[in-house]
Amino acid sequence: MSAKELSYNVHSAAQLRHLTIRQLRSLAALSAKGSVTAASTQLGLTQPAVTQQLRQLQDLAGLPLLQRTGDGMLLTEAGKEVLALAERVEAAIADCQGSLDLLAGRTGGTVHLGAVSTAKYFVPHAIAAFSKRYPKIEIKLTVGNREEIRGAMHGYDLDFAVMGRPPADVSVDVRQLGRNPHIIVARKGHWLEKDSGLNLTDLVHETFLTREPGSGTRTLMEGMFQRSDLEPIIGMEMSSNETIKQAVIAGLGIAFISAHTVAHELTEGRLIVLDVAGLPIVRQWYVIRRSDKVLLPPAQAMFDFLGSEGSNYLPDVPEFGAR
């Protein structure tokens, strides 16, 4: 390599560091449109402005980038090299923008959702509907009993949670989701099946299959009996509503439970609702977030979605009249 060529390469490399995005875009527009007039229209600039950008870029490159022909302005070999640079720069900008959008939650991201175990009968359906609308957003679902989800709300790992009663010891923002009726169910053919107007006193000799202490359903049932100065016979404690349902169907006892967890079994006739005065006890489903929890756009979108459309995914249950 001659001293002159070496001097040129060092000079051009140093000069190209000063090129601008506008200059590269002017060259790309000219290549695509074939004329300065059309390029200026595409870029929203005046023709003199585009001409100036092209001249400055050519000066920085140190070689002719364009040649005029009967077919319009065409790129030289040097111009094609600079155009390839422009394409790589635009791709890098697009990738960076995509990453920033992901971090900001505009086009993707992750939502951390908690749900009490009773809510698992409808929350997945709501997630599926939300994911169809926002396919780039990942949902991470944590399921636990009321105490576990309440404990999780003390931290900031969860964006929000679906539960039946807001925790009293955390400042929260709440969206109401829908009604959550609680009933007492028994297996088909239970000896009290055809009785109406039952009272809790009629059930004191029945064996209740219940959730574990800390469950919201268990707490609600205990409060119901305490108000009547009664104490139920607890047969088995189970951490799963599914296990309770199967145990009731098997004839091991009866259960106080959310109607949403047994909607399918009631429809099929494998379980029946006992007609007990004061039931159903109707609570509400809520979507709850810490007041000081900053939600990124994906989490805010799902929080708003559940608050406005979440009730559409609650299971259909029989209408229980006032007993």
The pLDDT tens digits of the residues spanning 256-315 come to 999 999 999 999 999 999 999 999 999 999 999 999 888 888 889 999 999 999 999 999
Cα torsion 43, 45, 46, 52: sign: negative
Task: Reply yes or no on whether the pLDDT at 5 is more than 50.
Answer: no
**For tokens 């029989």, what's the residue?**
318
Of 14, 138, 12, 115, residue with least CA distance to 65: 12
User: Which pLDDT score is estimated for 7?
Assistant: 44
Average of per-residue pLDDT across 23-46: 92
Cα torsion 159, 165, 168, 171: sign: positive
- Helices 36-43, 21-33: axis angle to 10 degrees equals 130
Q: Which residues lie below 8 Å from residue 260, measured CB to CB, with a gap of 6+?
A: 118, 121, 122, 180, 181, 314, 315, 317
Encode pLDDT of 65-122 as tens digits.
998 887 778 899 999 999 989 988 887 887 677 667 766 666 677 899 999 999 999 9
Dist. CA 323–CA 284, nearest whole Å: 19
Question: Percent of the chain having pLDDT more than 90?
Answer: 65
Structure tokens at 298: 């994906």
Task: Reply yes or no on whether the pLDDT at 184 is more than 50.
Answer: yes
pLDDT bin (cut points 50, 70, 90) of residue 154 is: confident
